[in-house]
Structures are given as C-alpha cells and as structure tokens.
Structure 1
C-alpha cells in the first residue's frame, strides 16, 4: 500500500472554522482522516510544502514517518504549526492502519481495559458559538448557552449536568479579570465575583459534581495563587493552565503553594516539553490534546511518562471530532487516562454536521467506537458546504 495523495479541508464559514481536516489517500482506496485546530491556511501550507514530499509514496502500514517529520521541523526551530500539522498526519495514519486491519485504533494500541466500559467525561461549559472563535479561551456565546449559564445560572447548569450524568463541569469565572489587567492583578471584588460562581455550583449540587477551573494561561503566578486560595474550601478538582506551562519552574512555584491541584497543559507539544513538567513535579493532572501534541504516536509516549510519574491524565477536546475520537481510543488503551473533556453542545450540534459518528454517553462514561480506524468519515453535509477550501498534493 502506498500513499498517493494528501488532501486538506477547512471551512472558513462553517461551524468550526479553525478545524483543518487531513485526508490520506492510498492506491488501495483506503483513506485515513486526521485533523488539527487553529490557523487552517497556515497548517495546510505546511502540510503541502513540507510534509507531502516525505509522506507521498510511503507505505502507511510499514514506514515510520513521525521521526522524520519531527526532525526536519526541529532543525528549523520547530513550532506550533509544525507540530499541529504532524499531529493531523499522525491521526490520519492511525485511522488508515485501523481500517486496513479491520480493527478500532484502541485494539492496535494494545486493547481496551476490560474492567472499564469507558472514560469519565466532564462538560466544558461553552456553546456552539465558542467553536467559531479563532482566539484561545475567548469564544463567543449565543443566548442562554452553557457559557452564558456558567456566569448567570451556574447552580441550575450544575444540576442539569449532574442529572445528565456528567462527572464534572469546567468553568472560567476569573477570565474577564485576567483580560482586564493582562493577568498581572485581580481586585478583591473580582475575586469575590468569581468565587461566587464556584460557591453557587457547590451549593446547588453538593459533592455530586466535580468542579474544574480553567485559567487559559492568562495569569501571573501571584494573582493566580490569590485566586486559588480563595476557592480552596470548595474542593476544586483541578485548576488548569492558570499560568503558561512553558516555564516549569513557575508552575512548580505555584504548585508548591496552591491549595488546589494543578493541571497542564494541552498547549504543549512533544514528549520533551511534558517531561520537563513531570520531572519538576509541577502538576498533579496532565492534559493532552492528540491533535496538538504530535498525534497518537507521541501521545502514547507522553502517557507512558505520565504513568511513570504517578500523574493522572485527562484528554483535551475543545477543538474537533477526530481529536475527541483519538482521545477516547487513547483512554481505552491507557489506564492513566481518567477523564475525557467534551462540550455537550459540540456533541449535539457541531460534530454531527462534520462526521458520521454517533456520540453516546452511558453512566457518565464515553467509549471509543468499535468501527475500524478512529470511527469517523466526513459527512456529505460538510463536504457540500459552500466555501469549503480543499487542497490536494499528489504523488508524481
């Protein structure tokens, strides 16, 4: 089997304009589907200019291209675009391998743990308008969606999520203050306002729901500590990315003082960046995004490091359907993965228009599909959208 063409697809006017899908075509008619998120035109340019010459003509079942792609990127300083493009290719390769073998990807990774029927899912509280944003952590809201309710009716939202079977909910009640002052300070009144959101959630559901706080990496360490001390009494599951994770020493400083466990960070890429966090003892929860970190191949290595350091892993998804599927397959094959992030609004209203996967939850758990590969194909609805941008590189 040989890869004969690489195709990139994005929809600037669609429900999630930051998603780039990658299709790998082969001479046997089997295709592999991957994706990544942010800067779709830039990612597509990198795929066709830098990756296509390496991947076209390769045997997807035998040839290992990850190290080659990474090395050529690292020798040019590397960066987010490169790693995200490599991630999309890697996801597509695993999808292709699973389809060729007639097996779900989790089976190729070693098989699912028979003692678990899925991974626990929590709801990140945003709506469909959030998917249309091109800015990290600054998605919009549309009427009384989950983002609006997290600020205005957090108790009622918490009760609803509990009743739907989610194990937890993630909110970011301090973000407005971070954006107002550049993350350098927060007033006592703003601390009180953000703390009130957390208090109303805990009052509404007691201990029935875990509460996760998101910081979107906008804070300096001292105001972050002030915030976390203010909410300690509410038994917060974790505080995620309150400071940028690119400096493990700063994160360790915060971790040593914070009464709330710290989580980081889907913003990192490659095992080397994650290794620094783990070796510093800077986090209690590791967050991982397969469509950013280097794909499934690299996620497997990162999760092995995570397990060796006794840290709990959580799979990130606030991006696209293939990334979510990759997270579910990785969770099935790795006991260190305890959580999968979802947005219920994406499951009901965004992802079904893009891929043909059935998104089901049972008892607060989601499981990877048993279909060969990752378990998704692009829908006719997505492919028929006006304005769809498609680019193809073919083997000579």
Structure 2
C-alpha cells in the first residue's frame, strides 16, 4: 500500500501558498491552501492536519480523509480550516489522477463539456479607465469581463457615488457592445440601501451578474435585493461548505454561486456544492483570483458540472504584479486562452506540471501580502 511520506509548503509571490505531498512510491501531488493575507495562519493549519491525520496514511482514501479533517475536530468550518482542507484535498486528487494515469475529471464522472469559458478582469480596486482595458481584452478574444463596481462607499452615499459606478459600466458597455458579458463585483463594499440603489441604476446596462452585492454576513438580505432587480445575483466566495450554501439555495435569491476551490474544502466539497446548486437551478462560476493549482482544480470541477457557467482566472489581474500563474508551470500552454475559452486538460491528475525549481527559488523571497485597510472620510474603517 502506498502511503504519504512527506510534504512541503511554499509561500510564493504574489500571495500564494503551495503544498507538495509525496507518497512512498514517488508520486507527487500539488495543492494550493491559502487565505489571501493569512498564508502563515493557513500554513499552520495545514501542518496540524498533515501531521495528525495524513502522514503515514494511504492517500487514496480522499473522502475518508476529508471527513476526518473536517469532523475530527470539535470546532469546524470557517476560512482557515476549510482552506487548509482544500489544499490537501487538491493534492490528494492530483496524486490519485497520476496513479491511475487519468485527469481528475475522469475519476469524477467524466466530461460534461469540452472547453470552459473564462472571463478577464479589467480595472483594479478603484476602477478607472476601464473602457480602453475592456476593448483591449475583447480584441484579444475574451467574450466576458469583470470589473469592480465602486471603490469604498459610505453606508448611505451621495448620488455622485452611484453616477460614478454607472458611468464606468456605461463606458464599458458602449465600447464592447451587447454581445460581451460584463460581471460587476460589489466586493462586499456596499451596504443594503446602496446595493438596492446601485442595482437599479446599473440595470439598463445589462450586467451578466452583480457579485457579492452585500457581505456574506447579510445574505439574509439577498432575497429582498432580488425583488428590486432583474440582474442575476452571484455570491459565495466567502462561504466555505455546503452547509454555508444551504441557506442561499433555500432562499431562491441567488442565480450564480462562486465557491472558491482553495477556500471551500477543495474538489471534494465543491463538487457537492455544485450538485446542490444544480438541483436549485443555480449556475456555478468558481471564484479564483489565485494561482495555477487553484485554477486547475476549478477547471476539473467545471468540466464535470452541467451547471458550470464561466470561470474566473487571474491572468494579469491587478494583484499579480510580482508573479503570474503561468510562471510556475512547465506546461504553460495548459491555460491557453482561445476565443475566451480554455480547453479541458488531458494530462493526468490536475493536468499541470509545476516547475519545482522555480517554486523553490520564489519561496526564498519575502512574501508579506495583506489587503489594504480602507477608511472613510471620517476615519472609520471601510470595506475593501
């Protein structure tokens, strides 16, 4: 019987944490367990789980390992534990696929599609000059874009704040036309009264969805918001398990869910969340402003999920100024973008070949990424 004999963790630029798991017969699996800005905390959680439950055990029993890591502690859930579980789960699926010489999706039921549509970010945290950026991405073949709606907002802000958001979306829509989809991310920055006003004001420009229109702390308000707009509502990047999503589905307010494969328990858990969503006629669009291992994991769940709509990816995203996803790969063509799609991978496991020498080199650098703390004009903390 093969067993897990070793593991290593690498914190690398711009803000990622990679996990390497090795088995007694020499198979290596990779995962990406991280909470952006909390890499050191998640690293400790991974070490605790690996040392207590995984080392010297059979890597093949993925469901049993998942249940043990989740249920083995009296306290469970939340971003740190679920992200640690997620990265370990990704690596175990990578190992299993390599053992059977098959892509992970083949072990999960096989393809539901041949290629996966992706969208490209435009603008930054404080979006500006998005029209030129949108036209450039469309010229490069992307058929879907996403942009932040606003910078920081007061709980009840002035009409100019609404007008600024409308002006940006109008500019993008006028530049790219009606055949391009535009997701608008509220990023949890928007209070309930402002969310209602923004949704109404943006509606004439037909966003593909409005994302995280209120913080996940206030998901009970999504049903009320849904009564004020015909724009599809998307949320879920700050939900970490199928139990977190249960209330969302039962409310009937959400049209697109966005679980993160590095935060919501990995491939094992998001596959189950996606199946729950299908039963409620809700589409899947996994959150992924992260690295190549997280993206590869998303792609395999997208491949098997009939309700997968579109995939976020971080190529050239504004967070990745120091490193980008392709730099860590030997087979960089695996995420080749063709007319706004990527092909389903065909190599075993997650389908990516990590450049281990480059990972070790980058891990020697000091990585200290934390999201900015924004403040309102009166000095109070604003949502980033």
TM range, smaller chain: 0.7 to 0.9
Inter-partner Cα distance in structure 2 for 1:155 and 1:231: 16
Residue pairs, 1:76-95, within 5 angstroms: 76-95=75-94
CA contact (8 A) 1:239 1:262 kept: yes
2:376 counterpart residue number: none
Inter-partner Cα distance in structure 1 for 2:53 and 2:175: 55
Q: Structure 1, residues 115-170: CA drift from partner, whole Å, max 9, x if none?
A: x3311111122xxxxxxxxxxxxxxxxxxxx4399512x22222222222212111
Inter-partner Cα distance in structure 2 for 1:360 and 1:248: 36
CA contact (8 A) 1:263 1:285 kept: yes
Q: Structure 1, residues 11-57: CA drift from partner, whole Å, max 9, x if none?
A: 3xx3x13x111111110000110002321111111111244210112
Indicate yes or no: 2:346 matched with 1:370: yes
2:372 counterpart residue number: none
Residue pairs, 1:34-45, within 5 angstroms: 34-37=31-34, 38=36, 39-45=38-44
RMSD (Å), alpha carbons:
2.0
Inter-partner Cα distance in structure 1 for 2:30 and 2:134: 35
Match of 1:341 among 309, 312, 316: 312
Match of 2:270 among 287, 296, 299: 299
1:317 counterpart residue number: 288
2:9 counterpart residue number: 8
In structure 2, stretches of 5+ residues that fail to align are 367-384
Secondary structure, counterpart of 1:151 in structure 2? coil
Indicate yes or no: 2:128 matched with 1:151: yes
**Structure-2 change in CA distance of 1:10 and 1:220 (3 Å):** same
State the shift of 1:265 in Å: 1.3
Number of matched residues? 356
1:139 counterpart residue number: none
Inter-partner Cα distance in structure 1 for 2:41 and 2:97: 28
Indicate yes or no: 2:384 matched with 1:387: no
Inter-partner Cα distance in structure 2 for 1:333 and 1:317: 17
CA contact (8 A) 1:289 1:315 kept: yes
Inter-partner Cα distance in structure 1 for 2:314 and 2:361: 25
Indicate yes or no: 2:325 matched with 1:351: yes
CA contact (8 A) 1:20 1:40 kept: yes
1:170 counterpart residue number: 146
TM-score, with length taken from structure 2 = 0.88
State the shift of 1:252 in Å: 1.4
State the shift of 1:77 in Å: 4.8
CA contact (8 A) 1:98 1:373 kept: yes
Secondary structure, counterpart of 2:329 in structure 1? coil
